[in-house]
């Protein structure tokens, strides 16, 4: 593994789904401690991109490297935390909050070995960081949608990843817990964790963003700083910018106040 390799390296990536390429010739590098957000309208390929980038979907052409290693050869899955787009924690199998979050430790543990102190501590820290420590013994199925979403975030945090990929993690999560998540992610980024966030509305997370990548119809149409993105949008005659599903320049709704340089973290 190359020591100076980006955490995530995506080059000329094309991903087919249902007989057509839904991600097309995408390039994306994410470095340690960098916080990148992927924006774009429904169906623009955001989830497909992050799933292919974390080895969950095969690609037909191009290259994905994780920590310098081609994805086909990558084995250190405990270094990656992934929060899927829709809550699936409660699908069928009855499980407690603690069991779901503990599943985040599985890739670190030898099969069937008892939980070590470090595992229990990581699970407890993850539960606390999403404010669910007091619900640990409850069935996930009995939590609200936003609480279930926070369980999935805790599961990803419990792996103690070096790359954290979150696909619309704050959908359905109230403002107070979005602010809590922003503090937790800021602390992770400050420790060198690379973060890739897919989002429609950034809310309190906006101030953390180092780079914005905009997808449209499977292609990257913008890759740069939030400032550059705001300038590009201001000079655009595009009435249907992917940042703003309602168009008309309601940027504050998307990026929120206080996202300018100097106010982050």
Interface positions with Mg ion (CB under 5 A): 46-47, 85
Geometric angle at alpha carbon 50, from 129 and 56, rounded to 5°: 95
Closest to ligand ATP by CB, 19 or 248: 19
Q: Is 48 in the site for ligand ATP (CB under 6 A)?
A: yes
**45, interface contact from ligand ATP, Mg ion, none, CB < 5-8 Å by kind:** ligand ATP
Q: Is 57 in the site for ligand ATP (CB under 6 A)?
A: no
Please identify which residue in the block is written with the tokens 């910018």: 241
Burial 120-159 (b: 16+ CB within 10 A, else e): eebbeebbebbbbbebbeeebeebeeebbbbbbbbbbbbb
Dihedral sign of CA atoms 174, 184, 101, 127 in order: negative
User: Site for ligand ATP (CB under 6 A): which residue of 2, 43, 115, 142?
Assistant: 43
DSSP secondary-structure letter at 71?
G
Q: Which long-range contacts (CB under 8 A, 24 or more apart) does 229-236 make?
A: 230/255
User: Site for ligand ATP (CB under 6 A): which residue of 21, 24, 26, 46?
Assistant: 46
Q: Is 242 in the site for ligand ATP (CB under 6 A)?
A: no
The pair of three-digit structure tokens given for residue 23, joined into one six-digit string: 């991600």
User: Site for ligand ATP (CB under 6 A): which residue of 17, 90, 106, 230?
Assistant: 17
**69, interface contact from Mg ion, ligand ATP, none, CB < 5-8 Å by kind:** none
CB of 17 to ligand ATP, least distance (A): 4
- Characterize the bridge pairing of strands 163-167 and 194-198: parallel
Bridge partners of 83, per DSSP, are 166
Q: Which helix (H) or strand (E) holds 22?
A: strand 20-30
In this chain, which stretch among 6-14, 46-54, 70-78, 104-112 interacts with ligand ATP, using CB under 6 A?
A: 46-54
85-124 residues in contact with ligand ATP (CB under 6 A) are 85
**17, interface contact from Mg ion, ligand ATP, none, CB < 5-8 Å by kind:** ligand ATP
CB of 21 to ligand ATP, least distance (A): 9
Left if phi > 0, otherwise alpha if psi is -120 to 50, otherwise beta: which for 28?
beta
Closest to ligand ATP by CB, 47 or 159: 47
Residues in the chain: 265
Strand, helix or coil for residue 223: strand
In this chain, which stretch among 45-53, 108-116, 153-161, 230-238 interacts with ligand ATP, using CB under 6 A?
A: 45-53
Residue 81 · residue 157 · CB < 8 Å: yes
Closest to ligand ATP by CB, 99 or 168: 168
Q: Which residue's Cβ lies closest to ligand ATP?
A: 18
Count the site residues for ligand ATP by CB under 6 A. 12
Q: Which residues bind ligand ATP (CB under 6 A)?
A: 17-18, 22, 40, 42-48, 85
């Amino acid at each position: 593994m190359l020591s100076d390799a980006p955490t995530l390296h995506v080059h000329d990536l094309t991903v087919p789904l249902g007989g057509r390429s839904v991600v097309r010739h995408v390039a994306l590098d994410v470095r340690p401690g960098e916080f990148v957000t992927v924006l774009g309208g429904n169906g623009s390929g955001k989830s497909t991109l992050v799933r292919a980038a974390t080895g969950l979907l095969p690609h037909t052409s191009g290259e994905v490297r994780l920590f310098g290693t081609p994805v086909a050869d990558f084995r250190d899955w405990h270094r990656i935390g992934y929060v899927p787009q829709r809550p699936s924690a409660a699908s069928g199998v009855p499980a407690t909050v603690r069991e779901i979050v503990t599943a985040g430790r599985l890739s670190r543990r030898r099969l069937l070995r008892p939980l070590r102190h470090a595992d229990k501590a990581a699970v407890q820290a993850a539960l606390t960081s999403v404010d669910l420590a007091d619900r640990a013994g409850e069935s996930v199925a009995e939590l609200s949608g936003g609480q279930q979403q926070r369980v999935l975030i805790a599961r990803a945090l419990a792996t103690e990843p070096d790359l954290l990929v979150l696909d619309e993690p704050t959908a359905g999560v109230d403002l107070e817990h979005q602010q809590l998540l922003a503090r937790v992610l800021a602390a992770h980024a400050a420790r060198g964790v690379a973060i890739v966030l897919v989002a429609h509305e950034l809310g309190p997370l906006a101030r953390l963003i180092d780079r914005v990548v905009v997808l449209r119809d499977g292609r990257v149409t913008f890759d740069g700083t939030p400032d550059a993105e705001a300038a590009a949008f201001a000079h655009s005659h595009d009435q249907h910018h992917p940042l703003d599903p309602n168009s008309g320049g309601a940027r504050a709704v998307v990026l929120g106040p206080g996202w300018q340089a100097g106010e982050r973290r």
